[in-house]
Structures are given as C-alpha cells and as structure tokens.
Amino acid sequence: MYDIIGDIHGEANTLKHMLLSLDYEEGKEGYFHPERKAVFVGDYVDRGPGIFETLRIVREMVTAGNAYAIVGNHELNVLAFYTKDSDGLFLRAHNLKNKTQIKKTYEEFRLDKVKRKSYLKWMRSLPIFLELEGFRVVHACWDQKAIELLKKENPENCLSKKFLTKIYYEKGEVFNAAMLLLKGREFAFPDNLVLKDGYGFKRSAYRIKWWEPMNGKSFEDISFGNRFHLPEYSIPSQLYFDIPLYPENEKPVFFGHYCLGDKAGVVRSNLCCVDGCIANDGVFVAYRWDNNLPLNQKNIISVKKVKKSSLK
Ligand SMILES: [Mn+2]
C-alpha cells in the first residue's frame, strides 16, 4: 500500500512530522514503513528553510526502496537554472527574476557545491510521471496524449541533461507536453481582460481544471488553484478549446501543484490533489491509498507546519 505525499517545498520538519504521523519509522536507511511505501509528487525545493534536509530525506527513502518520487515544476526550474547548453549558456538565465524565483534553493545550494551537484544529479533521474499498481502520479496534470508523446520522445522518463537541453532549444511540442504535465493547463485571457494577482502582477493566463469541459462555464467556474478571483461571466464560445478530459472510469490520478490549502484532497471520484500549500500558510497533506475507489476524503491526512526542529 502507498501514501501519496504532497508538495514539501523545503519544510523538512513538517515532512518528518508527517512521516511519523503516518507511522513511518526512522531506520539506518532513512524513514520506512514495514507495509507501505511513500510516493512524493514533486516540489521538494524552494520556499522553505530546509531544502537540503528535505532532499536528503526523500532521496534516502527512494534509494532504500521505501518511496517513489517524481519531479515537480520547481525541480524543473532549478535544473534548468543549473544546466548549460552546448554554447555554455544556462537554460534558464541567471538574471534577477530567475534567481528570485529559486531564491531559497539558490542560497542553500551556494553553501555546498558538492552536495548541490549530487542532488541535481539525483533530481535529473526522477520520473516525470508514474504508473503504479492501480493508480497514476504526476505533478500537475495527467494528459494521455502528452504522456504518449513523452514515452516516445523520452523513454527514460526523466529530466536528463540531454532531454532538457533538447526541449529548451526546440521549445516545441515535446517541451509543451512536459510543461503541461509539470505546470498544468492554463487558459490565456483575451487581450481586453486585465487581471492582477495577489502580488499585484498582471496576469495573462490562469490555471484551470484539466478534467472539465469549459462550454457554458464562467471564467471562475473553470479556475483551479489560483490565488485571485476570476469574472463570473460566461466564457465567450469563440474562446473555448477542447480539453482531452480525464475519464471518470480511468485509474485514479494523484497530483500536487495547486496549493489548495484546506481544500486539498479529492476533487473527483478518481482525482486527488495533495498540495495543501504548506509553504504559504497552508497545510501538509497526504492520501492513504487503500486500493479503493471512489477516492474518499477520509483518507486524507493533514498536518500543520512544524516550525522548530522539535523532532530529531
Ligand atoms: Mn508545483
């Protein structure tokens, strides 16, 4: 059996607290459960105070065979930041905006280059998506067409140096497929609609539900995981685009990414978002998978942030 654990973002103490709450024990090879395995949905880095420590805990568990871990969009950003193309240029330029985005990771990684190198190498080895017994895991969005394309173009199913360099150079359909899985589906506003998010930044697109059709809905209806409100008026039909919807009779998908706070959990009978937005005053969430459908909110375990290192 498996426990699917949400976005950690460097909150190592809260992660330890969660593992203990789920009855994992700390052994010589890291945390383990005698009967269960943990599955991490990505976003280990950025924001929190214990990024190296988070990476250590997760890597130890994966190495010992006690957990699976996939990549999130924050690992992607960090990998692209530290990966050079054949001209010696970083895939993500080292400008102020990109440095600010990965600030916490950048600051910790600067302190120990040997460790940094070792964790970057490990992050490059993590799968982009996972199919386990009876369920699927991806950081943001399961899109079968994108998955098929990635299986064909990137059979290793990880963000290797070679693959990352190639897709950042091409910025083509394989890049878009990887972005769709790691960042989810977005809806671009018409030019005449100007919105500002909670930080006061102008937004040109917002995150939408990737499992519901938009026909006849309002901008707000299809919004998912945004920290700002959308107009309640109906989306003009000329703006509709067809989303390949995730069928209700398909295997369940567990994902993170959407920072749902206390709304994290089951969003449909076979879809569950385990990102409770721990780094932004939310909660830390896991789902105890018991092989049963429909998914049930009762299987959600939620813990609050542990600020000090009161745990060993
Ligand atoms: Mn994310």
In 3D space, the residue among 310, 287, 285 whose CA is nearest the CA of residue 298 turns out to be 287
What's the gap in Å between 28 CA and the centre of ligand 1? 31
Instruction: Convert the pLDDT of each residue in 213-267 to its tens digit.
Output: 888 899 999 999 998 888 888 988 888 878 888 999 999 999 999 999 999 999 9
Q: Residues lining ligand 1 (ion), CB within 5 A?
A: 43, 72-73, 257
Q: What is the mean pLDDT of residues 155-173?
A: 97
CA 184 to ligand 1 centroid distance, Å: 9
Distance 46 CA to ligand 1 centre (A): 10
Percentage of the chain modeled with pLDDT above 90:
81
pLDDT tens, position by position, 274-285: 999 999 999 999
Q: 45-93, pLDDT tens digit by residue?
A: 999 999 999 999 999 999 999 999 999 999 999 999 999 998 999 999 9
| Helix/strand/coil percentages in the chain, nearest 5 | 35, 20, 45
Q: What does DSSP assign to residue 171?
A: -
For 30-43, what is each residue's pLDDT tens digit?
A: 999 999 999 999 99
Q: For residue 309, is pLDDT > 70?
A: no
Select from 3.60.21.10, 3.40.50.620, 3.40.640.10, 3.40.630.30 the CATH code of 2-182+248-303. Answer: 3.60.21.10
> What average pLDDT is seen over the chain?
94
Residue 310 pLDDT grade (very low, low, confident, very high; cuts 50, 70, 90): low
- Cβ atoms of 62 and 42 within 8 Å: the answer is no
Interval between CA 258 and ligand 1 midpoint (Å):
7
309 C-alpha vs ligand 1 centroid, how far in Å? 25
289 CB neighbour count, 10 Å cutoff: 22
Report which residue type is found at 42: G
Whether the model pTM is above 0.85: yes
pLDDT of residue 311: 52
For 28, residues 6+ apart whose C-beta sits below 8 A from its C-beta are none
The domain ranges of the chain are 2-182+248-303, 186-242
